[in-house]
A and B are shown apart, each in its own frame.
Chain A
Amino acid sequence: MARAEVRPVRRRARKSRTGVDWFLTIMRVAAITVIGLGLLAFIAQEINTDNPFAQWANPDATGLTGAQFQGLIISGVTQGAMYGLIALGYSMVYGVLGFINFAHGEVFMVGAMTGMITSNKLADAGLWESNFVGSLVFIMVVSILVCSLTAVIMERVAYRPLRGSPRLIPLITSIGVSFFLQNASVVLLGPAAKAYPDVPDWIRTKHTFLDIEGAKILVILVAAVSMICLWYFVERTKSGKAMRAVAEDAEIAALMGIDVNRTIVKVFALGGAMAGLAGILWGILFRSVIHTTGFLPGIKAFSAAVVGGIGHLGGAMAGGLSIGVAESVGPLVILEPLGVSGVSQLRDAVAFAVLIGVLLLRPAGLFGERLQAEDRT
């Protein structure tokens, strides 16, 4: 459905080429050239760092070993799984209400903070060490509850009164909500970074059998399980059916006897729960949280939702994984071989570049959008 809407715009653009079109074409070509050159240089380096092409691109090139490459992919997938979990919230809200809930990244931060507080309390009581798995499940449940509540309050206070107003109004409001939550965390909990308690060895060290840290296995497992649960909920239960109906057309859904307000609250709660889960995973993986924790992952998760096609649940997860892998592999595989120094600082820039690139090349995302008709403009 989405594709049929997109096509006429393209055709018109092709008919009359303006300066902007030429510029965009040049940008596309340049982007593809850079990526292609980088990849070629990378391959050349991998074959032999002394060959002339690799030398020409970057004389100091070293290439990557297989283990390094595997490590990059694994950490990209891990990060990407968390982006995917956050992206689900963006995607569902956009699908149902048609606006970007910019504050969703802060819900994730609230989750990580809740986890920090609860796990430290548990560690004080001695439960964290003695029963790690139980404590982990407990902090996940607490975080899911807190985050769902935050998201629902947010919807009730800031977004519901604005339903039906021009699209940018709730977006600006959500920027305000995001700013407020971030700074509320500063004034209530203090501006310093806060640490999670120590985790047991099997989380921290690499496992012989897959050569991956336990934390990363945990992240991927939890993300997969929650994704399956979410899929079951949305596709197989009555509430999920209501959500899909509201996403398709809220007015008709209301006529069919679906309580639209309630469904929207459920969507926010579900998105909040996923973000809360991601927050805990983030905390376990990086063991440190600060009030700005939510900003970059939030933006990247939004990019992931767009990359996967907004309104599309599987797409959000796939988009998350691709953004995660791109930002972890991209700098070293494309920029480093071209002689860019200090590439690891550019990972965030690469993530944004992926977003811009996808919106330039394929605005509907990889899997196409699922939106209400009037939102596809």
Chain B
Amino acid sequence: MTATLPPTTGPQPGGTQPEAPLAAPRPALAHDWRRIARMGSIAAFGQVFIALSNMPVRLDERLIVKPVLSLGYLVLLILPFAAGYRQGHQIKREGVPTYAPGLNEVVGGLSCGALAGGGLSLLAVLLTHFDLREPLVNWSPILLDLLAFGNATWFAAVIWLVIGGGMGAAGGVLRLLGPRIRRAVVTMALAVAGAAVLESLVVDLAEGLGLETLTDRLYARRGGVNWSSALGLAVVSGLLAVVGRGRFRQARTRVTELEGAKRTQANVGLILLTAAVLIVLPLFAGKLTNELLANVGLFVLLALGLNVVVGLAGILDLGYVAFFAVGSYSAAVLTAATSPKIAPEMPWLAALIVVVIIAGLVGLFIGAPVIRMRGDYLAIVTLGFGEIIRLLFLSDWLSGWFGGSQGITNIPAAGIFGLTDVAGTDPRRVFYLVLAFCALAIYVSWRLEHSRLGRAWMAVREDETVAEAMGINTVNVKLLAFVVGAVLGSFSGAIFAAKVGSVFPTSFLILVSIVILVVVIFGGMGNIIGVIAGSAVLIGVLGGPKQPGLLVEFSEFKLLIYGALLIWMMLARPEGLIPSVRRTRELRQQEMAQDAWLRGEVDDDDGGNGPAGSPSAV
């Protein structure tokens, strides 16, 4: 954007553009007003949708900064701000001048934001004069009250124009700031928001560590960051951001530039450090935090399994929940005394071996018929299989085996060599168990990724025909991906059965598959760290299909947010937050080719002349 970009590490989508000199700022009122009207009204629609979804009312109880800002109001501030910031975006093209940001951006942002806020003003007026509660369940005086801050309607109408305009202008101002200050501002906002979101976690840990005084000062009694400490936090984080600018990146480049043994040492050190933190942390955390960690761990395990199938081999499996279900049910049948038909009451670890074999066989059974289908048919058919498996567990026909809708209850705790029993009543032990399996899954997927098989998967993902021509048996390779994914998923299922103590068909809805898919895509398909980070952020903060996250208030809205997130990720960043290098190259092939062309590095043999070389597989 501006002159002092630090040297980029790794491939940045869009690449480094040739720096064009910035033209003088545009005059304040020279706008494409139609564009502003369009963006503003889209944002206004969004605002009305958010308001009518009951998000503001439901989230109002959760305070971010003690008397000033609640999460409910925060969700109403985001869109005007984003519209105001987005409005100042200039498309950089060869031969089109780029203007320096100036008053123009602020005015544009202001009008965009005011329009967005105007949506709420209009809504407030409509709320007073019409009664649409019949179809719209949240059309209520409570919402009006919230919009008007307890005052009259006209107040709501005016105040939201002002607030929207203010947020939009703030978004415009953000464009004016230099990159250094902008980063500091963003860090400040993120620090305060993060502190508020992580509140229960931080308080819990602080109690364990005996640091109550610190959290008492930071957080208000009934939730939310104190006004004064929020200010302090902002200042500190802002300073850190300014001082520490680029240090982190430098450190990372230094590590990646290390070679041979030193690199390995650094990696081992980093892994040991992470492991130590993860092992020590739960000792100081309370039950709720450990429960949260255990849930996140279960989803990390599932996501790692799906990552092998979707991320490495490029097979879009929408019925992944089937393997989770098979793992759970077979563990339940093998260990529980109450299992209806056969109840061998095996110890959990012994049962796990059988579970793995069963899951592998089911993987083969589901995989074999679908493996030759084209990618999109395969997705729908796996979805069908996922649903068939759930329907079979639910049906009366097999209820003699699996208990039908009653499921299987009283599943005993998982015993580990007679050392401990891992049951849901002690989430800390569950977490350690999950951690051990996650470590195994990470090791397996890391070794597989760099093995002959992993390279074969990636080749199949990039172009099946070429891979076949290179002598890869595509059918077997893809089947193996299915089986590995199934086995990893069944681990998670077996732990889930022991943790919850009962299995019901309703735990294995298709939406579980979709949530895992969102997690994998959000984090970055094909990248182990990305997948782990994705599950930690999404499942930890928003929660899984049935498991609450840190923002418990969001439980009604998390699926909506997952859907929106999936669309947005695909449109804006299909390679995920922490992308795998190869994956990005595949997904951005055209853009990269164009960038190379712009830089003058045309290689005629390498699809350098643009759109012709589009990848045929995901």
Contacts and interface: CB of A to CB of B under 8 A. Distances in A.
B567 interface: yes
A184 B560 contact: yes
Interface in B259-308: none
A51 interface: no
Given A299-B384, A348-B387, A179 B521 contact: no
Contacts of B611: 164
B563 A183 contact: yes
Interface stretch (A54-62, A70-78, A167-175, A262-270): A167-175
Interface string A345-366: 1101100110110011001000
A304 interface: no
> Residue among A23, A176, A178, A352 with the most chain B CB within 10 A?
A176
B137 A190 contact: yes
Contacts of B391: 345-346, 348-349
Contacts of A23: 364, 368
Given A24-B369, A117-B135, A184 B376 contact: no
Interface string B371-387: 11111110111011101
- Chain B interface bracket (under 10, 10 to 19, 20 to 34, 35 or more): 35 or more
Interface in A96-121: 99-100, 102, 117, 120-121
A121 B132 CA distance: 10
Nearest to B521: A172
A166 interface: yes
B13 to A, nearest CB: 13
> Residue among B376, B517, B614, B617 with the most chain A CB within 10 A?
B376
B472 to A, nearest CB: 13
Interface stretch (B113-121, B198-206, B394-402): B394-402
Given A20-B479, A169-B574, A188-B138, A356 B566 contact: no
Interface in B337-390: 364, 368-377, 379-381, 383-385, 387-388
Interface in B504-541: 510-511, 514, 517-518, 521
B376 A359 contact: no
> Residue among A18, A99, A359 with the most chain B CB within 10 A?
A359
A179 B566 contact: yes
A186 interface: yes
B53 A187 contact: yes
Contacts of A377: 374, 616
A176 B134 contact: no
Nearest to A18: B475
Interface string A149-165: 00000000110011011
A352 B385 contact: yes
B395 A346 contact: yes
Contacts of A356: 369-370, 381, 384-385
A166 B567 contact: no
A34 interface: no
A20 B388 contact: no
Nearest to A26: B368
Interface string B583-614: 00011000000000000000000000001001
B618 A169 contact: yes
B407 to A, nearest CB: 15
Given A168-B379, A186-B560, A363 B587 contact: no
Contacts of B373: 359, 363
Interface stretch (A214-222, A226-234, A335-343): A335-343
A171 B617 CA distance: 13
B517 A172 contact: yes
Contacts of A100: 376, 379-380
Interface of A: 18, 20, 23-24, 27, 99-100, 102, 117, 120-121, 124, 157-158, 161-162, 164-173, 175-184, 186-190, 295, 299, 302-303, 306, 340-343, 345-346, 348-349, 352-353, 355-356, 359-360, 363, 377
A350 to B, nearest CB: 9
B375 A167 contact: yes
Given A341-B397, A345-B395, A161 B136 contact: no
A250 to B, nearest CB: 13
Given A177-B567, A180-B567, A187-B556, A168 B475 contact: no
Contacts of B376: 99-100, 167-168, 171
Contacts of A173: 566-567, 570-571
Contact of B316 (A120, A171, A295, A363): A171
Q: 3 closest Cβ contacts across the A-B interface?
A: A342-B396, A176-B566, A179-B563
B577 interface: no
Contacts of A360: 369
B52 interface: yes
Contacts of B384: 299, 303, 352, 355-356
A316 B570 CA distance: 29
B564 interface: yes
B321 interface: no
B370 to A, nearest CB: 8
17 contacts: A20-B476, A162-B570, A166-B616, A167-B618, A169-B587, A171-B379, A176-B563, A180-B563, A183-B557, A183-B560, A189-B137, A299-B383, A299-B384, A299-B387, A302-B380, A345-B394, A352-B385
Nearest to A181: B563
B565 interface: yes
Nearest to A363: B373
Nearest to A166: B618
A183 B566 CA distance: 13
A180 B560 contact: yes
Contacts of B138: 187-188
> Residue among B49, B374, B587 with the most chain A CB within 10 A?
B374
Given A169-B574, A187-B54, A175 B618 contact: no
Contact of B614 (A164, A295, A341): A164
Nearest to A102: B380
B133 to A, nearest CB: 11
B578 interface: no
A164 to B, nearest CB: 7
B387 A355 contact: no
B555 to A, nearest CB: 12
Given A27-B369, A180-B560, 6 more contacts: A158-B570, A166-B614, A166-B615, A172-B521, A188-B52, A346-B391
A303 to B, nearest CB: 8
A235 B566 CA distance: 37
Nearest to B50: A187
B566 A175 contact: yes
